[in-house]
Amino acid sequence: MELKKSTDHSCWLREVGAEADCEPGTLELCIRGRDEWIPINRIELRDQRWLNCAPLNWYSFMNPESVMQRVLAISRSDGEVWVKMNEDSLIQVDGLLVNDFLRAENVRAAMKYQPRDDDVFIATYPKCGTTWTQYIVCNIFTGGNAPNNVTDFLLQAPYFDFMGADAPKKMPRPGALMTHLPFSMRRHSNKARYIYVARNPYDCAVSYYHYLLGHTPKTCSDVSFETFVKAFIAGRVPYGDYFDHLIPWYEHRQDPNVLFFTYEDLKKDTSSWVLKIADFLGKQEYGDALRADSKLFQRILDSCSLGNMREVFDCRCDGFVDALLELPEDKRLESMELYRNKGVTKQESHEGSGRVRKGKIGDWKNHFTTPELLDTMKCWIEEKTKGTDVMRLWEDLNLP
């Protein structure tokens, strides 16, 4: 039984049959660039790095769970343990890699949800201006009285993939559901409204690195930015490949029920884009109201400042999970009970960033500091964007 091979893969696995010289059930590995299959118990330590950093969907063949258990048991027993940044913190839900603190049932609920006509979705790839956009929308909906703590914020603008089926049921309306699900992995509606925010891949990678670093246990030894970039361009991060997420939404950017903009545009002209968002949500009710009330408009802009948001979102994941579980019964989400049963592991992590970091354009220049790293990103971008003009979104930034 052999995995379907692809030129994109760095290694493949197969289970040896009874006709082979090895004992039936033995796993063999083939590493790109070599012609031979190697019994997995004879793999050298340097080759175990390839095995350990392979995307989980490479192992998706018959009885994948038991195979994965055997692979990991072999590759991590005896000798040095190869731990790649955050890859031990990933699970696969119907082909999608997500953080292991999410519950598969809740992710699937977001995938299968049939949008209501009055639903508003904020859809982004992680670390592309998600929280900022959510908070702007909350402020618009509440007349500048957005929640001042993470718990109330998550009720007003639920992270759907995390909170599950009860999120849209308990969400105060008007409200906005946030999702990182790729376009093809959720049900689309021509009547619901979608706000999509894109960020240039260089700054996105930097922000994502610092965010995941803060969620990576100190038992993970290799947490360099170079290591992360390799995982990022291979799609071995939560929610997979950046361009696989961006391009399908880019192709729908002209849809009348889609508001598509970039983080950079929002950063450079926040006031104009707040008005555009308000118009999209309801021109007469929200957009015109802000134009007619300069004090309200300024209050919203002040509320959405970086400094204010840092105070609101200064909370670790385990902290707001506990807070959501302790809500009174009328506000509590039954779908969150999955976290009570399984718990969120609390362990010492590397120092990283929270939901709100620097909020700068161009911080990538402080991280992509070697020609090799820049060439790696440039080659990946060129390959992934063949046949699309999506990078024109940032033609004024003079990206590499």
Tell me the CA distances in angstroms from 126 to 165, 180, 259, 277, 353, one per residue in order. Answer: 21, 7, 18, 20, 13
Mean pLDDT of 350-370: 73
Mean pLDDT of 255-276: 98
What band does 212 get if pLDDT is binned at 50, 70 and 90? confident
Looking at residue 149, what is its pLDDT? Answer: 84
Looking at residue 20, what is its pLDDT? Answer: 47
Catalytic residue among 9, 180, 210, 252, which? 180
Looking at residue 76, what is its pLDDT? Answer: 34
**What is the sign, positive or negative, of the torsion defined by CA atoms of 117, 241, 111, 156?**
negative
**What is the sign, positive or negative, of the torsion defined by CA atoms of 14, 16, 21, 23?**
positive
- Strand ranges (E), the chain: 11-15, 27-31, 38-39, 90-93, 96-99, 120-124, 177-179, 193-198, 258-262
**Catalytic residue flag (residue 350):** no
Looking at residue 155, what is its pLDDT? Answer: 92
Neighbouring residues of 85: CB distance < 8 A, sequence distance ≥ 6: 212, 213, 216, 220, 222, 223, 224, 227, 228, 231
Homologous superfamily (CATH) of 99-397 is P-loop containing nucleotide triphosphate hydrolases (3.40.50.300)
pTM above 0.85, yes or no: no
Assigned token pair, 147: 């929640």
Mean pLDDT of 294-298: 96
Assigned token pair, 396: 């004024």
Counting Cβ atoms within 10 Å, is residue 148 exposed (0-12), middle (13-18) or buried (19+)?
A: exposed
Looking at residue 371, what is its pLDDT? Answer: 94
Least confidently predicted of 1-15, 161-175, 182-196: 1-15
Looking at residue 66, what is its pLDDT? Answer: 37
Q: What are phi and psi of 354, to 5 degrees?
A: -90, -150
Neighbouring residues of 285: CB distance < 8 A, sequence distance ≥ 6: none
pLDDT digits (tens, 9 = 90+) for 129-159: 999 999 999 999 999 998 888 888 999 999 9
pLDDT digits (tens, 9 = 90+) for 22-73: 554 455 555 444 455 555 544 433 343 334 333 333 333 333 333 333 333 3
Mean pLDDT of 190-198: 98
**Domain spans of the chain, in order of start:** 11-82, 99-397
CA distance 202 to 380: 12
What band does 110 get if pLDDT is binned at 50, 70 and 90? very high
Is pLDDT at 14 greater than 60 in this prediction? no
Q: What share of the chain is helix, strand, coil (3-state, %, to 5)?
A: 50, 10, 40
The candidate with the shortest Cα–Cα distance to 13, out of 82, 73, 60, 69, is: 60
Pairing of strands 90-93, 38-39: unpaired
What band does 354 get if pLDDT is binned at 50, 70 and 90? very low
pLDDT digits (tens, 9 = 90+) for 366-383: 999 999 999 999 999 999
Looking at residue 197, what is its pLDDT? Answer: 98
- Mean confidence (pLDDT) of the chain: 79
CB–CB of 131/122 below 8 Å? no
Mean pLDDT of 178-206: 97
Q: What are phi and psi of 92, to 5 degrees?
A: -110, 130
Terminal-to-terminal C-alpha distance of the chain: 43
The candidate with the shortest Cα–Cα distance to 137, out of 14, 259, 225, is: 259
CA distance 123 to 307: 24
